[in-house]
């Protein structure tokens, strides 16, 4: 007879059927009856129990965890764990960099207070001899300005050297701003003609703008509000430029005035060819020279360097030939070709002198007659 587990068609021929029948009878004795099966208790193990005794049911959220729950059994680190470790590493590197930069470049506190007002002195220089006239080229050639450079080229930059609290780059920026100020306030044709002041205004510290605007609108010789303390300006009713090629010579210097302040000093002579405002430009022989010596002191804090602006701290200006009775605060009024001496001052002042010239003792000085260049001797012909 067939038993469970036998082939459908019975045992193949040639096999030990007796033995199979014996084994079937043997296993038949251990088959559970129906009552035993119904009484049996069925238990379903939980996921944690199936995973083992030491497995975690919840994944760790710690950034130092090596991964998910499977990580405890050699699984790969989780994406969140890797991102957490990278974030901590980045913060540590940023903190270390900040400490290093703080030690290398110690913080310097910003300056206290606001920019101080400009103090200026403008001294007219009266001629001691009649004012020569002629063509601009001839006048320049016979004056000490014969070898001066033309325009901004004559404002030479000194060698740049760092200071204890300012880098080479910051010193170079301060010198560059100072040169820009000289160019705009001494060479711009519209500024010289009195028709513009904005090119100078945009270079000033905001704390000085109110003082500058008042000086332009209501000039005064009170030492604070002279327009000619800020810039070079001719009275348009008196004289205009006869030649736009202004001759320039002078020096720039820079030093650290305080741990947070750079100071640039400028000392330049500007020589202008002017003519009468009412004359015809075609009459070139009516030109004369007008000389302005400007000594400026400009200050820069770190905000000024970043914004490319300056604080004009002081200005000492000598200009002539002028009549001492004329007030030069609003604009210069040159004595033109053919004008004779008007006054005799206590001492002569030479605006062409190198170094620090002798300053006028009073409100007016005498324009010294500078020595003209000597022509080279002519060797006799054969």
For 347-365, the pLDDT digits (tens) are 566 788 776 555 554 578 8
Q: What is the pLDDT of residues 249-285, one digit of tens each?
A: 999 999 999 999 999 999 999 999 999 998 666 555 7
Query: Out of 7-11, 81-85, 112-116, 223-227, which region has the weakest mean confidence (pLDDT)?
Result: 7-11
Tokens describing residue 204? 């000033």
Q: Which residues contact residue 382 at a Cβ distance below 8 angstroms, ignoring those fewer than 6 apart? A: none
Q: What is the pLDDT of residues 79-105, one digit of tens each?
A: 667 777 788 888 888 877 776 665 555
d(Cα 71, Cα 63) in Å, to the nearest integer?
Answer: 13
The gap between the terminal CA atoms of the chain, to the nearest Å, is: 158
Write down the mean pLDDT value for the chain: 80
Cβ count within 10 A of residue 12:
8
Cβ count within 10 A of residue 84:
16
The conformational region for residue 14 under phi > 0 = left, psi -120 to 50 = alpha, else beta, is left
Give the pLDDT confidence score for residue 83 in this predicted structure.
Answer: 76
Output phi, psi for 294, to 5 deg: -120, 125
Q: What is the pLDDT of residues 121-144, one digit of tens each?
A: 999 999 988 999 999 999 999 999
- Cβ(128)–Cβ(367) below 8 Å: yes
Report yes or no on whether pTM surpasses 0.75.
no
Give the pLDDT confidence score for residue 294 in this predicted structure.
Answer: 97
Residue 191 pLDDT greater than 90, yes or no: yes
Q: What is the pLDDT of residues 209-238, one digit of tens each?
A: 999 999 999 999 999 999 999 999 999 999
Give the pLDDT confidence score for residue 157 in this predicted structure.
Answer: 94
- Cβ(133)–Cβ(226) below 8 Å: no
Give the pLDDT confidence score for residue 312 in this predicted structure.
Answer: 98
Residue 44 pLDDT greater than 60, yes or no: yes
Cβ count within 10 A of residue 34:
7
Q: Order the strands of the 239-258 sheet from edge to edge.
A: 149-150, 239-258, 261-276, 288-300, 311-320, 119-127, 365-367, 348-349
Give the pLDDT confidence score for residue 84 in this predicted structure.
Answer: 77
Angle made by CA atoms 185, 190, 195, in degrees to the nearest 5: 105
Tokens describing residue 308? 């490319």
| Bridge partners, 294 (sequence order) | 268, 317
Give the pLDDT confidence score for residue 130 in this predicted structure.
Answer: 93
**Could you tell me what percent of the chain has a pLDDT over 70?**
66
For the chain, the residue count is 382
Q: Which residues of 262-271 are buried (b: 16+ CB within 10 A; e: fewer)?
A: bbbbbbbbbb
- Cβ(218)–Cβ(111) below 8 Å: no
- Cβ(342)–Cβ(127) below 8 Å: yes
Task: Label residue 375 by pLDDT band (50, 70, 90).
Answer: very low
**Could you tell me what percent of the chain has a pLDDT over 90?**
55
- Cβ(190)–Cβ(199) below 8 Å: yes
d(Cα 15, Cα 189) in Å, to the nearest integer?
Answer: 127
């Amino acid at each position: 007879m067939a038993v469970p587990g036998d082939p459908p068609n019975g045992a193949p021929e040639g096999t030990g059927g007796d033995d199979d029948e014996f084994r079937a009878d043997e296993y038949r004795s251990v088959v559970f009856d129906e009552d035993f099966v119904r009484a049996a208790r069925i238990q379903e193990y939980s996921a944690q129990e199936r995973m083992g005794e030491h497995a975690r049911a919840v994944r760790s959220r710690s950034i130092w965890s090596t991964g998910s729950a499977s990580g405890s059994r050699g699984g790969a680190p989780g994406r969140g764990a890797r991102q957490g470790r990278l974030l901590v590493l980045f913060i540590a590197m940023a903190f270390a960099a900040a400490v290093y930069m703080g030690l290398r470049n110690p913080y310097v506190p910003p300056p206290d207070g606001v920019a101080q007002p400009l103090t200026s002195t403008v001294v007219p220089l009266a001629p001691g001899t009649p004012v020569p006239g002629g063509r601009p080229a001839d006048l320049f050639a016979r004056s000490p300005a014969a070898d001066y450079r033309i325009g901004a080229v004559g404002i030479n930059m000194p060698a740049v050297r760092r200071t204890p609290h300012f880098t080479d780059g910051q010193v170079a920026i301060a010198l560059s701003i100072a040169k820009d100020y000289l160019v705009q306030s001494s060479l711009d044709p519209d500024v010289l003609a009195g028709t513009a002041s904005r090119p100078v205004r945009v270079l000033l510290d905001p704390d000085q703008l109110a003082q500058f605007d008042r000086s332009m609108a209501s000039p005064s010789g009170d030492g604070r509000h002279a327009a000619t303390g800020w810039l070079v300006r001719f009275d348009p009713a008196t004289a205009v430029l006869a030649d736009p090629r202004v001759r320039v010579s002078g020096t720039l210097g820079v030093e650290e005035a305080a741990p947070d302040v750079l100071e640039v000093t400028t000392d330049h002579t500007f020589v202008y060819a002017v003519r009468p405002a009412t004359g015809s430009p075609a009459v070139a022989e009516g030109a004369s020279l007008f000389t302005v010596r400007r000594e400026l002191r400009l200050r820069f804090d770190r905000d000024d360097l970043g914004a490319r602006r300056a604080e004009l701290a002081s200005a000492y200006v000598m200009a002539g030939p002028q009549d001492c009775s004329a007030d030069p605060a609003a604009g210069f009024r040159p004595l033109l070709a053919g004008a004779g001496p008007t006054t005799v001052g206590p001492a002569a002042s030479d605006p062409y002198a190198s170094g620090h010239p002798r300053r006028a003792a009073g409100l007016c000085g005498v324009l010294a007659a500078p020595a003209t260049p000597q022509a080279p001797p002519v060797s006799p012909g054969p």
